[in-house]
Amino acid sequence: MKTMLLGAAALAAPLALAQPALAAPKAFGYPVPVTDTLTFDPMLDARLRWENVDTPTKDADAVTLRLRSGFELKHAPSHLSVLAEAESTLEIDNHFNGLAFVPGKARPDYAVVPDAANVELNRLQIQYRTRQLGLTVGRQRINLDDQRWVGGVAWRQNEQTFDAVRGEATIGPVMADVTYANSQRTIYGLDAGPRTAYDGNFWFLQAGVKQGPVTIKAFSYLLDYDTKEQVGPLAITLADTQTYGVRATAALPLGKKAKLNLIGSYAHQQGWKDNPAKYGADYVNAEAELTAYDFTATGGYEKLGSDKGIALQTPMATLHKFNGWADLFLTTPKSGLEDVYVGLARAFPKLHGLNANVTWHDFHSDVGHVKFGEEWDASVGFKVRKVALLAKYADYKAKGFGVDTTKFWLEADYAF
């Protein structure tokens, strides 16, 4: 199935390229008309980053350059497009442990920064897209909702993609989104051995309805991995799981310059297929976000529950978005996790898109409510013409889990 998905996308590419010579683009980076109905859209995404990690026992300095380049051909009458994209990451300063689990490539004297050198095919897909229907076949990026369950892990230099077939439909207020994937292409790159990609049978199922400012979705994520990674006596980090839940969002206007966004979600996870664990763990998330006069205040609670010593896991998520930027909780502790967080952000739209935010997290276990630690996160970003600049900071203070960890990033992004 995996070969068929990529083969279909690969066969379409030369057919689409067999067209008249390209016309001159209107502006650098914009789509180029090939014919009256066909356009060629070049893509380039470059990111230069310095990441510093400071812990009581190990430090790291990682300077990496990530480049994604490719193209998308779109044929307007047929609603078809072909996209091909390569991705490469260069280690400029390699004082970091990028492949801690690979013998001969690990650098155990340094702290982990999972941005190893890499060159790979990131995406190769065929897509049919109208306002109501979408069908995507091939290696693709998949970001579902807030990416708590399935995401592209865009923060890391090497993106996570999927070899998959995805169908989307919107009919009036009703939507459906169904994906079957047989390979999870991880962030670790081509030198990561068995962690380069995890094969299996994966279903991502969503159905929902939108009524005015309120959207409600039911979802199911069914993960059946071919290979299991053992942690202790049970396969926990890559266990076969079935997760069922519901997510509701509301965007409520409060006058001309204010709005209130509300999020609520509940899910229940159990073992599935070859998972030997007999457990049932709950997921809960509640968040309120108030925006007024360029300020945004956020408060929320998230629980990744635990039952019988087995905690709920989300191995396909964009994990850096959740539970603190220091990344102490990429794998949920066996006693579960509760995260209470508050944040304040400010946008300065007249100052080159300047934005700043700060967030505080308070972490406890789900079982026993044991204090894990606290974390402060902060960032400042702005743009200079087409270059986006970012400074970012995370400071985790351990109480009962992990060690004190400080991380700092400086980053420059250019894309068209």
Residue 374 tokens read as 């606290």
Q: Which domains does the chain have, with CATH numbers?
A: 1-211 (2.40.160.10), 247-416 (2.40.160.10)
Q: What is the pLDDT of residues 226-263, one digit of tens each?
A: 976 544 444 445 689 999 999 999 999 998 889 999 99
Beta-sheet strands, E only, within 141-254: 161-171, 174-185, 197-211, 214-225, 241-253
Ranges of beta strands (E only) in 96-146 are 118-129, 133-140
The pLDDT, as a whole number, for residue 18 is 39
List the structure tokens of 18: 């067999």
What region, left, alpha or beta, does residue 11 occupy, with left being phi > 0 and alpha being psi -120 to 50 degrees? alpha
Distances (CA, A) of 150 to 51, 129, 178, 206, 316: 25, 21, 13, 12, 5
Question: What is the distance between the alpha carbons of residues 238 and 244, in angstroms, rounded to a whole number?
Answer: 18
Token pair for 366 = 């789900």
What is the value of pTM for the model shown? 0.91
321-377 per-position pLDDT tens digit = 999 999 999 999 999 999 999 999 999 988 888 999 999 999 999 999 999 999 999
The per-residue pLDDT for range 76-134, each reduced to its tens digit, is: 999 999 999 999 999 999 999 999 999 999 999 999 999 999 999 999 999 999 999 99
Rounded to 5 degrees, what are φ and ψ at 295? -100, 145
| Calpha distance 312→26 (Å, rounded) | 51
Contact 43, 28 (CB under 8 A): no
Grade residue 408 by pLDDT with cuts at 50, 70 and 90: very high
Q: 3-state class of 338 per DSSP?
A: strand
Give the model confidence (pLDDT) of 37-89 as tens digits. Answer: 999 999 999 999 999 999 999 999 999 999 999 999 999 999 999 999 999 99
* Residue 383 near residue 304, CB atoms below 8 Å: no
CA 243, 230, 327, 375 torsion-angle sign: positive
Measured between alpha carbons, how far is 60 from 54 in angstroms, rounded to an integer?
7
Are 368 and 385 in contact, with CB atoms under 8 Å apart? no
pLDDT at 19 over 80: no
Which stretch of DSSP H or E encloses residue 15? helix 2-17
Mean pLDDT, range 310-325, rounded to an integer: 97
> How far is Cα 339 from Cα 274, in angstroms, rounded to an integer?
30
CB 237 within 8 A of CB 315: yes
- Helix, strand, coil percentages (3-state) for the chain, rounded to 5, are 5, 60, 35
Closest CA to 360 of 401, 393, 391, 319: 393
**Residue 242, SS3 per DSSP:** strand
Contact of 240 with 201, CB cutoff 8 Å: no
* Residue in the structure block whose two tokens are 């600049």: 389
